[in-house]
Amino acid sequence: MNVLTVTLNPALDREIVVENFKINEFHRVKNPSYSVMDPGGKGINVSVILSGLGVRNVAMGFLGGNIGKVVEERMRLISDLITTGFVHVEEETRENIAIVDPLGDTITEINSSGPLVKPDDLRMFLRRFEVALSRVRHVVISGSIPRGVENDICRTLCKKVTDTGKLAFAEGTGPAFEMAVEAGVITVARPDLRSRKLIFGESLVDLNDYVRAAKKIIEKGAKLAILSYAIEGDVIATQDGVWLFKTRAHIDRSHLLGTGDAFMAGVVHSMIENEKDCFLAAKRGMSAAVAEAEYISKELISTKDIDEHIDSFDVRELE
Amino acid sequence: MKVSEAMIRDVSTIFEDETIEDFIVFCLRQNKSGLPVVDEEFRVVGFLSESDVIKSALPSYFSLLQSASFIPDTHQFVIRLGKIKDDRVSQHMVKPPVLIKPDDTVIYAADLLIKNGLKIMPVVDDEGKLMGIVNRIYLIHAATQGKIDR
């Protein structure tokens, strides 16, 4: 087993494609394939994409109720490279609904909050996490924090990872993620800027703001910082410099679903092969994201897709 | 057909020092009838099923009886269950557990399940660490699909 992914607040992703979607109107889904259910949550998405890249991994976190069982069962159906090891809680796992309108070029997303995690559930998870950690080298901790779990959880988990000399890949938002960045326990940090362009209390407006935030993440101890910039760009920082990656072709907003998780999976996949080269990892991450963006739904990309898209974006050195 | 092709890659488990009550909650939430028991190295050291818990909560002479109708007072069962709920899993698990490896054949797994009257069997690697489980319905399904002899 190479990789452990942690999704503390998984979801059943329901993606519905509706052409010319408008609020307050009745819509009918034209094609059954335009209404799909997938296991979701950022860590789970990374697990699924990694399985497509041939990487055996174990997915952990919290699931609950019948929706939780559906998520678990579907993950195992996707690939036998995925092993599940979730702690099951009393309340039901959440659903994330995405309404994709390819004609209007919009994605409307509604994410519910998810189940309450009680202290006993967390205690059981932490024990299982530590045992699982001894069997892997790369750990992805990604997504939102469920109710009942303190904001220091991301820092606690990443510290356990890096204290044992292993690599922690984290994506998140708000105080939980920033606390872990400040503690210098994340190896690869990717702030989730989808809902608000804000980090360390500062709004990200122009490119300089993104560069400053990326450099701060590196100063705190991360080896690689990735900040999504506009739709088609990413600001990348390592200890050697700061770059802007920008796709050559236009990407529709409706094709963005899963691209962030593909980016992270591409980085992890690259660092399994070459742990030291963070810039190469970022390039292969970007390539994976561009490859994923060719699909309207979440699809399994291959290593061949990554290789083929490695020159599909421009790299500009900023500092 | 090998076990690796028919196994469920799930490592839900219980540690040997967790309690019977923990086990009951785990099984209820996951709709399972039993769980592999592991140590801190993730080696499978036992197996605990709902049947084992029931046996532990019944009077010791129960195994000599042919029918539960001979038990004078079912309330005894409830009282004994209350007494063992805080016991460690290791006190009631079956050990050594019946185990199988991913490279073993499915027909061998079926043989072990039938001979030992099991519903679930842990699948372990060469170090005895948990990789997943096989259960009866998966093997029955494989048999009905004609895959079991391959």
CATH number, domain containing residue B106: 3.10.580.10
Are B10 and A127 within 8 A, CB to CB? Answer: no
**Any idea which of A32-41, A295-304, B24-33 has the lowest mean pLDDT?**
A295-304
Q: Which residues of A touch B132 (CB under 8 A)?
A: 83
B120-124 and B130-135 beta bridge pairing: antiparallel
Q: How many CB atoms lie within 10 A of CB A148?
A: 16
Res. B150: pLDDT tops 60:
no
CA distance B12 to chain A (A): 5
Q: Which residues of A touch B9 (CB under 8 A)?
A: 76, 80, 82-84
The token duo for A113 is 């909050």
Point out which residues pair with A228 in neighbouring strands: A234
Cα angle: A112, vertex A114, A120; to 5 degrees = 170
Q: Which residues, 6 or more positions from B64, have their beta carbon under 8 angstroms from its beta carbon?
A: none
In the block, tokens 């122009």 appear at: A206
Helices B136-144 and B106-115 sit at what angle, rounded to 10 degrees?
130
Residue B125 lies in a domain: yes
Point out which residues pair with B135 in neighbouring strands: B120
Are B10 and A88 within 8 A, CB to CB? Answer: no
**Any idea which of A53-57, A263-267, A290-294, B131-135 has the lowest mean pLDDT?**
A290-294
Are A131 and B30 within 8 A, CB to CB? Answer: no
- CA dist A100 and A29 (Å) reads 11
The token duo for A31 is 């094609």
Structural domain harbouring A290: 3-23+31-317
Residue B113 φ/ψ, nearest 5 degrees = -60, -45
Average pLDDT, chain A: 92
- CA dist B143 and B105 (Å) reads 12
Q: Which residues of B touch A82 (CB under 8 A)?
A: 9
Q: How many CB atoms lie within 10 A of CB A184?
A: 16
- Three-state DSSP at A266 gives helix
Structural domain harbouring B27: 3-144
In the block, tokens 């326990």 appear at: A185
- A123: nearest CA in chain B? B18
DSSP string, B68-106: GGG-S-THHHHHHHHHHTTSBGGGTSBSSPP-B-TTSBH
CA distance B19 to chain A (A): 12
Q: Which of A102, A93, A182 is nearest to A143 (CA)?
A: A93
Residues of A with CB under 8 A from a CB of B: 58, 64, 69, 72, 76, 80, 82-86, 88-90, 124, 127-128, 131-132, 134-135
pTM, whole model, 2 decimals? 0.90
- For residue A280, what are the CA distances in angstroms to A237, A268, A291? 12, 11, 16
Q: How many domains does chain B have?
A: 1
Res. B35: pLDDT tops 90:
yes
Residue B112 lies in a domain: yes
Residues of B with CB under 8 A from a CB of A: 4, 8-13, 15, 18, 22, 26, 29-31, 38, 40-42, 129, 131-132
Residue B115 lies in a domain: yes
Chains A, B: CB pairs < 8 Å: 45
Res. A182: pLDDT tops 60:
yes
Are B11 and A89 within 8 A, CB to CB? Answer: no
Higher pLDDT among residues A33 and A239, named by residue: A239
Task: Give residue A231's pLDDT.
Answer: 75
DSSP A24: T
pLDDT in tens, A142-165: 988 999 999 999 999 999 999 999
Cα angle: A90, vertex A96, A100; to 5 degrees = 165
Task: Give residue A250's pLDDT.
Answer: 73
Task: Give residue A297's pLDDT.
Answer: 65
Residue B149 lies in a domain: no
Q: Which of A114, A2, A116 is nearest to A59 (CA)?
A: A2
**Any idea which of A56-60, A75-79, A152-156 has the lowest mean pLDDT?**
A75-79
Write the burial class of residue B103 (CB in 10 Å: 0-12 exposed, 13-18 middle, 19+ buried). exposed
Give me the percent of chain A exceeding a pLDDT of 70. Answer: 97
Convert B127-147 to b/e letters by CB count within 10 Å (16 or more is b). ebbbbbbbbeebbeebbeeee
Name the pLDDT band for A290 (thresholds 50, 70, 90). Answer: very high
* 8 A C-beta contact, residue A14 and residue A96: yes
Write the burial class of residue B34 (CB in 10 Å: 0-12 exposed, 13-18 middle, 19+ buried). buried
Give me the percent of chain A exceeding a pLDDT of 90. Answer: 75
pLDDT in tens, A235-271: 999 999 999 999 987 776 656 667 899 999 999 999 9
**Any idea which of A167-176, A199-208, A229-238, A255-264 has the lowest mean pLDDT?**
A255-264
Residue B38 φ/ψ, nearest 5 degrees = -125, 160
* 8 A C-beta contact, residue A114 and residue A90: no
Higher pLDDT among residues B46 and B73, named by residue: B46
Task: Give residue A256's pLDDT.
Answer: 65
pLDDT in tens, B80-125: 888 899 999 999 999 999 999 999 999 899 999 999 989 999 999 9
DSSP B2: B
Name the pLDDT band for B78 (thresholds 50, 70, 90). Answer: confident
Q: Which residues of A touch B30 (CB under 8 A)?
A: 69, 88
- CA dist A318 and A246 (Å) reads 12
Task: Give residue A255's pLDDT.
Answer: 61
Tell me the CATH number at A149.
Answer: 3.40.1190.20
Q: Which residues of A touch B40 (CB under 8 A)?
A: 131
Q: Which residues of B touch A127 (CB under 8 A)?
A: 15
Residue B47 lies in a domain: yes
- For residue B95, what are the CA distances in angstroms to A311, B47, B48, B75, B85? 57, 7, 9, 29, 19
ipTM of the complex: 0.87
* 8 A C-beta contact, residue A146 and residue A10: no
Average pLDDT on A287-298 reads 83
* 8 A C-beta contact, residue B94 and residue B46: yes
The token duo for A191 is 């702030």
Average pLDDT on A258-285 reads 95
**Any idea which of A39-43, B19-23, B54-58 has the lowest mean pLDDT?**
B54-58
Report the half-sphere exposure of A256 (CA within 13 A, side-chain side): 22
Q: How many domains does chain A have?
A: 1
- B129: nearest CA in chain A? A135
Q: Which of A165, A180, A37 is nearest to A97 (CA)?
A: A37
Q: Which residues of A touch B31 (CB under 8 A)?
A: 69
Task: Give residue A33's pLDDT.
Answer: 84
pLDDT in tens, B62-71: 665 556 666 6
Interface test with B, best of A66, A88, A127 (most B CBs within 10 A): A88
Q: How many CB atoms lie within 10 A of CB A207?
A: 14
Are A84 and B9 within 8 A, CB to CB? Answer: yes
